[in-house]
Structure 1
Amino acid sequence: MFDDIDLKILEIVQKQGRTRRNELADRVGLSLPAASERLRKLEEAGIITGYYAKLNPRALGKDITAFILVTVDSSKHYSSFVDHVQDTEDILECHAITGEGTHLLKIRTENTSSLEKLLAKIQSWMGVVKTTTSVVLSSTKETTVMKIHPHKQH
């Protein structure tokens, strides 16, 4: 179970992953060793899984963002599908879903030509029977920050 200090630490590092430990300690009202220990425990428990820099994809030549709805015909192909996904750099996220399709992919790639090549690659994978692609025109919200409610913890 988390207490208010743990929740405050999680709130801070979600929004500012590069916060120095001494600043974190000051902001949550703990000594540096105590704050560091709390942070270590949150990491070891798998609550904090990493610290990331948010990059501007367009500045790096990735002008196309798209979501690809994929239908894999049988669960016997899921494992190889996931292996292919893991090995494909332009695929940022892969989610097994209910409803239409079996998986939803988020991709970032250079241009429509590279998107077309990526789609051909995905469509060639064993078990893939259908893809539906939606190209993102603009994004009004894209975040990894989650609101944490104290009473909703497991």
Structure 2
Amino acid sequence: MDDIDLKIIGLLALDAKRSLADIGGSVGLSPSSVNERIRRLTASGAIRQFTVDLDPAAMGVQTLVFVWIALREDADEAAFRDYAARHPLILECHHVTGAWAYLVKLRVGAPPEIEGFLAELKAHRYLGRSETVIALSSPVPGPFVPKES
């Protein structure tokens, strides 16, 4: 991967619908050369997917929530990971160091949905303890990509 590849990736990260001609004009290559580089970057796994950036409020999930989770001692961790991967509210799940086992990122329409989510974790016997943080604003937001329910 060279500097031109990095520039192409940066341009696509800002706008995945950008035309090959526009990208080529920015990096000094023909559209066909840009297309070949994108094909190569995709084949190598450097580019994993092309997505859209949605407005969470327009999708009805304006509340961004982070939940620190410590699993119960008797919890099936593999089952929890599978549950997290499939849960429609969970956008990200990270196994972390420190006092907590996992950090989960959610998008919900309103705070009462958080209580329902925690109740689900308890019902599945995963949740030992948790701490919930609600984001007030996001000066540097990441893309919002919902999962299928």
Fold shared, TM-score > 0.5 on shorter chain: yes
Secondary structure of the 1:65 match is: strand
What corresponds to 2:64 in structure 1? 65
Query: Is it true that 1:106 corresponds to 2:79 in the alignment?
Result: no
Q: What RMSD over aligned residues (CA atoms) do the two structures have, in Å? A: 1.8
- Consecutive unaligned residues in structure 2, runs of 5 or more: 144-149
Kept in 1, the 8 Å contact 2:69–2:127? The answer is yes
Amino acid at match of 1:27: S
CA contact (8 A) 2:72 2:125 kept: no
1:21 matches 2:20: yes
TM-score calculated relative to the size of structure 2: 0.86
Q: 2:20·2:34 contact (CA, 8 Å) conserved in 1? A: yes
Query: 2:80 aligns to what?
Result: 81
Q: 2: distance between equivalents of 1:77 and 1:40?
A: 40
Deviation for aligned residue 1:76: 7.1
Question: Conserved in 2, the CA contact under 8 Å of 1:123 and 1:130?
Answer: no
Q: Against the structure 1 CA distance between its residues 103 and 93, is the aligned structure 2 distance closer, same or farther, given a 3 Å change threshold?
A: same
Alignment partner of 1:90 is 2:99: no
Name the SS of the counterpart of 1:26 in structure 2. Answer: helix
The whole-number CA distance in structure 1 between the counterparts of 2:116 and 2:85 is: 17
TM superposition shift of 1:82? 1.1
Other-structure match for 2:138? 139
Q: Distance in 2 between matches of 1:27 and 1:90?
A: 38
Give CA-to-partner distance per residue, 1:91-146, whole Å, 9 cap, x none. Answer: 111011001211100000111221111111122233431111111122221136xx
Q: CA 1:120–1:75 in 2, change beyond 3 Å: closer, same or farther?
A: closer
CA deviations 1:66-110 (Å, max 9, x no partner) are 100011245972211111112211111101100121110000011
- Give the structure 1 partner of residue 147 of structure 2: none
Gapped runs of 5+ residues in structure 1?
145-154
Give identity over the alignment, percent. Answer: 29
* Equivalent AA in structure 1 for residue 82 of structure 2: D
Could you tell me how far apart the structure 1 residues matched to 2:24 and 2:37 are? 10
Give 4+ residue runs of structure 1 displaced > 3 Å after superposition.
Answer: 73-76
